[in-house]
Structure 1
Amino acid sequence: MSEQQQADGERTESTSEKLVELAKRRGYFFQSSGAYGGVGGFYTFGPQGAALKGNVEDAWRERFALAEGNMEIDAPTIMPEPVFEASGHLDGFDDMLVECPECGESHRADHVVEDNTEYEDAESLPIPEVEDVIAEYELVCPNCGAGLAGQAVDSFNLMFATNIGPGDSDPGYLRPETAQGIFVEFPRLKEYARNQLPFGVTQIGRAYRNEISPRRSIIRTREFTQAELEYFIDPEADDPDLSSVADVEVTLYPASEQNAEDGKAFETTIGEAVEEDIITDLWVAYFLGVAKPWYESVGVDMDRFRYRQHLSGERAHYASDCWDAESEIDGNWIEMAGFAHRGNYDLSKHAEHSGDRFTIFRQYDEPKTVERATVDPDMSYLGPEFGGDAQAVVQKLEDLAARDRSAFDGESVEISLEGETHEIPVEKTGFSVEEQTEAGEHVTPHVVEPSFGVDRTVYTVLHHAYREDEVADEERTFLELEPEVAPTFVGVFPLQSDDELESEATGIAEALREAGLSVTYDDSGNIGRRYRRQDEVGTPFCVTVDYESIEQEDGGVTVRERDSTDQKRLPIDDLPETLSAIRAGDLEFKELGE
């Protein structure tokens, strides 16, 4: 906005506002349940949007599942409560909520702070500090303008709760991420991988978070689609081959620059970033290198793309490092994906809570003789002493013996059970240290996770593709979508309403569909309006059948390119092969003859 516009009180409509209007009008996305007034945080993808979203998902699957040799699964979206007790979501999956004392509207406190102060990452601040910032800046309710100073900021769990089964049913939750569906199935998935590390498992599916204040259309919603890869590695044996990504150029915004007074993002390569310890985790570096050209291939503007490292306050406690892929939208940076090394936290937690084995056997090159601390508890003592908790006590003793054998040096050993400390005579534990010859050991794999938000990627692709220009002195709006992801690749039109023209155009449309191309047929309105309709939904090419097409032998058809609006005359019989080659990237439109 110019200074003059600000002075005059004028307001320039943002690209996002124009895009949301176009999306509703042309069938990309719109708020769900509109007949009942709509519901916040839920969106329906229309015919164009569903096709674009499906194409983005297919492109992701091609690169991160098929090209990398990874498996794909489809797990349920509802899972039982114990899964989320183990994962920590019941206790630590919270956002900060502040409620207006006047209108009662609830808001995300960190968003109120970020929108009205210089704080860019209020989510990483502790709750007392957020309360202090609200008071210091005298922040007000975005809905009614009432002051929020002095209002308590509370933690709000984002999980959607449900019940599984009738009557005294079991509690369950809609999954807040697709990852847990992969982690809990690891004992079986490792068998499909022949118990060999490394291996990856992908999943594309819905996730649910009961956002306090969903906003910015499909950027922050309560139901969304994720595309996640969980890559299981042996932390002592598996390193990636970085040669294929070392020269990939990236824009990085590391924590050191974010914390510096004059810090800023800079350009480098994956190889240089690793050599200079900017990216310290090799597997994270590898997937950052793989993801960048993929984002470019689906239409993300690389001048408005960067990788930002998580600050220490926002990084999950189990993650050794984490970087976000971010895109610029109307001057703001939004997260599209996260790349984290999660360690063995997830598998260890599910092993602890389920009692199943979440390890893989690592074979030694040669058998080793090692000392192992073991316990063989006296159950005639533990049974009467601990009742139903006796087996839990055994597990505690086994874990302690493996971790700290010196704990058994005295006459008794201490264990903690459900917050209470118990002393057990060492003689009742059956503790001993024995020499054992072992062929290998059980290893809990570490997990590297690239997690992509599909909806945000789709929004970014649309936003970065939005264009306005003039054609023949008329304003034009069009989406410069990549052919790989465009909902429709080619539109076919008869020049006029004429039986012969329409019959020929219909036959061409059928031939192009048989060639595997996405085709729309349109005979409504004048040809200029039909071109504009297809431009606005991002269709890369239009084929027009005219009288020359039916009256002359090899009369051909007019093929028009969306971006340049250039037109070329092409033989009808060659159309399927020619357009297929263009979509595959083997041929460019400008290379075609006049």
Structure 2
Amino acid sequence: MTTDGDPDQAAGAPADDRTGEKLVELAKRRGYFFQASGAYGGVGGFYTFGPQGAALKGNVEDAWRERFAVAEGNMEIDAPTIMPEPVFEASGHLDTFDDMLVECPDCGESHRADHVVEDDTEYEDAESLPIPEVEEVIAEYELICPDCGAGLAGQAVEPFNLMFATTIGPGDSQPGYLRPETAQGIFVEFPRLKEYARNQLPFGVAQVGRAYRNEISPRRSIIRTREFTQAELEYFVDPEGEEPDIDDVADVDVRLYPAAEQTADDGTVLETTIGEAVDDGTIADPWIAYYLGIAREWYESVGVDMDRFRFRQHLAGERSHYASDCWDAEAELDGNWIELAGFAHRGDYDLSKHDEYSEDRYTIFQQYDEPKTVERAVVDPDMSYLGPEFGADAGAIVDELETLAERDRTAFEGEAVEVDIEGESHEIPVEKTGFAVEERTEAGEHVIPHVIEPSFGVDRLVYTVCHHAYREDEVDGEARTYLALDPKVAPTFVGVFPLQSDDELEATAREIVDELREAGLAVTYDDSGNIGRRYRRQDEVGTPFCVTIDYESLEDDAVTVRERDSTTQKRLPIEELGDTVAALRAGDASFEDL
């Protein structure tokens, strides 16, 4: 057993507060990610993943699918990224999907007002503040434009909708939007998806795909972009159904930052377990607790540093209006905490909205254990009155009356009932609605499921995994930079090198490359430069193992295998190499035990 450097130093250590800056330079140089359309000056908020980055991103996505779709027995779909305008009218995105914009009076640049506040004050969650209060903070602290230094006090803070608009079809085309989240593709298709689930709750639908947000001020590389990848699970549950069995995650250690601790003078992050947090009420919703436990273990498995990881509960002001509770997974990068995922209980908001706006039903029939006699409010409108009185709107009025009777029978207590059709209010005499409350024996009822949503940002996670894996040390007196990526997600698993330019060595190396690729491993072949430089190249892109074929290999049919982090080298028979490396990739063997 040997190393090509000091083993004490070869363990490496994270760099300094400039890790992010160094990582961005490494990412561009080694093909992880870089600003898109550079030949045309680049466009802010759009990035291209190079060969290494695309492979790493794909491995992360595959790992997510394996854990949150396959292992949990959830189905996966792939919905379009462009959807018609009515979808987003129903979802509320056209009215409420806004960020706060402030424009510099001198240079004209637009900035997210909450980011300006957070960067130069003690406010950590300015996004949760109302616009008038943000304007007051900007004035009180005399905040300035990040680009030119001009004062922003007195400048209006305006809401800015983040949706990308487009058109569908030629001529008088239909307005549409690029989806700002993958979730709506799942919600819209619920009436068909419930059939695939045999109308049985609970069931989950996963999706990994692109989303688009016209960010005011994209920043920090791929952390905040205008086009990004989400991995989302929408888990549909019976609002009156059973809670999850959290025994499998009860003992998972977590660091929690509840809302109460965030607002307390001496608030702190709590070190606890999922089970304890549920028992003491820190996490009120068992479904959210279940997915926090799964996510914590999964994040660690793909290489997130758990010493720089926590779950933070949303404050009341920042929580979406439809969410009864929401927690973010956060990672620390260069002294800042960034959101990696959100875990929300969305209630029945989404399905109720699409049930109201669309022409389909977003309910599931839940059969009772025994038939029940229940009271139901019904209407039987007098069409001889509605037809002549309201013409083409009569059918829509009937639909609204039926919906209103189900939801609010008190609306029929007066002499007239009011319904709204496309923004126009109509009054209908109650006697013409045929309203009545009847007793019925029913075998079950139609319920609108509630939604539990774990939503993961893939691009941010790729950045975090690289950032947390970034190391600097010395090997043989020479500075070395490497990415200590977990083998599960490393873009290349094995580098294969002939020691020198020699036909026989190269032929043997090529045979080994073919064998390892046939075993399903990501392999790179490199015969350029001295062996030390080749090691450094693979270290920098995070390749866990390198195989060197030397002249002894031609005699003893063995090769030198080098482990990235420790630089330890071991000699292995060629005939055992494929099985051994595959076992290392699967986690069934460790390099130390070879």
SS in structure 1 opposite 2:533? helix
Cα distance in 1 for partners of 2:514, 2:370 equals 64
SS in structure 1 opposite 2:527? coil
Could you tell me which residue of structure 2 aligns to residue 388 of structure 1? Answer: 392
Cα distance in 2 for partners of 1:409, 1:21 equals 69
Cα distance in 2 for partners of 1:241, 1:324 equals 22
Cα distance in 2 for partners of 1:370, 1:453 equals 45
- Residue type of the partner of 2:45? G
**Do residues 408 (structure 1) and 412 (structure 2) align?**
yes
1:430-477 CA-to-partner distances (Å, cap 9, x unmatched) read 112222111110010000000000000100000000000011111100
Unaligned runs of 5+ in 1: 1-11
Question: Which of 27, 34, 37 is residue 33 of structure 1 equivalent to?
Answer: 37
Could you tell me which residue of structure 2 aligns to residue 462 of structure 1? Answer: 466
**Do residues 132 (structure 1) and 127 (structure 2) align?**
no
Could you tell me which residue of structure 2 aligns to residue 9 of structure 1? Answer: none
Question: Which of 352, 358, 361 is residue 362 of structure 2 equivalent to?
Answer: 358
Could you tell me which residue of structure 1 aligns to residue 11 of structure 2? Answer: none
SS in structure 1 opposite 2:322? coil
Give the Å deviation of 1:118: 0.7
Could you tell me which residue of structure 1 aligns to residue 12 of structure 2? Answer: none
Could you tell me which residue of structure 2 aligns to residue 290 of structure 1? Answer: 294
Cα distance in 2 for partners of 1:207, 1:373 equals 42
Question: Which of 135, 155, 158 is residue 154 of structure 1 equivalent to?
Answer: 158
Could you tell me which residue of structure 1 aligns to residue 109 of structure 2? Answer: 105
SS in structure 2 opposite 1:575? helix
Cα distance in 2 for partners of 1:369, 1:269 equals 45
Could you tell me which residue of structure 1 aligns to residue 5 of structure 2? Answer: none
Change (3 A) 1:579 1:78: same
Give 1:170-569 correspondences, 5 Å limit: 170-418=174-422, 421-550=425-554, 552=555, 554-569=556-571
Cα distance in 1 for partners of 2:114, 2:509 equals 56
Cα distance in 2 for partners of 1:28, 1:404 equals 56
Cα distance in 1 for partners of 2:304, 2:312 equals 16
Preserved contact between residue 90 and residue 157 of structure 1 (Cα < 8 Å): yes
TM-score, normalised to structure 1, is 0.96
Cα distance in 1 for partners of 2:318, 2:395 equals 37
Give the Å deviation of 1:266: 1.6
Cα distance in 1 for partners of 2:228, 2:398 equals 43
Preserved contact between residue 495 and residue 546 of structure 1 (Cα < 8 Å): yes
Preserved contact between residue 198 and residue 238 of structure 1 (Cα < 8 Å): no
1:490-509 CA-to-partner distances (Å, cap 9, x unmatched) read 00000000000000011111
TM-score, normalised to structure 2, is 0.96
Cα distance in 1 for partners of 2:534, 2:235 equals 47
Give the Å deviation of 1:412: 2.4
1:152-188 CA-to-partner distances (Å, cap 9, x unmatched) read 1101000000000000000000000000000000000
Cα distance in 1 for partners of 2:288, 2:58 equals 26
Cα distance in 1 for partners of 2:103, 2:537 equals 45
Change (3 A) 1:13 1:406: closer
- Residue type of the partner of 1:566? T
Unaligned runs of 5+ in 2: 1-15
Cα distance in 2 for partners of 1:72, 1:98 equals 40
**Do residues 44 (structure 1) and 44 (structure 2) align?**
no
Give the Å deviation of 1:424: 1.6
Larger RCO: Structure 1 or Structure 2 (Cα < 8 Å, ≥ 6 residues apart)? 2
Preserved contact between residue 495 and residue 547 of structure 2 (Cα < 8 Å): yes
Cα distance in 1 for partners of 2:95, 2:410 equals 33
1:241-263 CA-to-partner distances (Å, cap 9, x unmatched) read 10000000000000000000111
Give the Å deviation of 1:385: 2.4
Cα distance in 2 for partners of 1:540, 1:338 equals 31
**Do residues 83 (structure 1) and 87 (structure 2) align?**
yes
Give the Å deviation of 1:355: 2.4
Aligned length: 579
Could you tell me which residue of structure 2 aligns to residue 583 of structure 1? Answer: 585
Cα distance in 1 for partners of 2:281, 2:270 equals 15
1:74-105 CA-to-partner distances (Å, cap 9, x unmatched) read 00000000000000000000000011111110
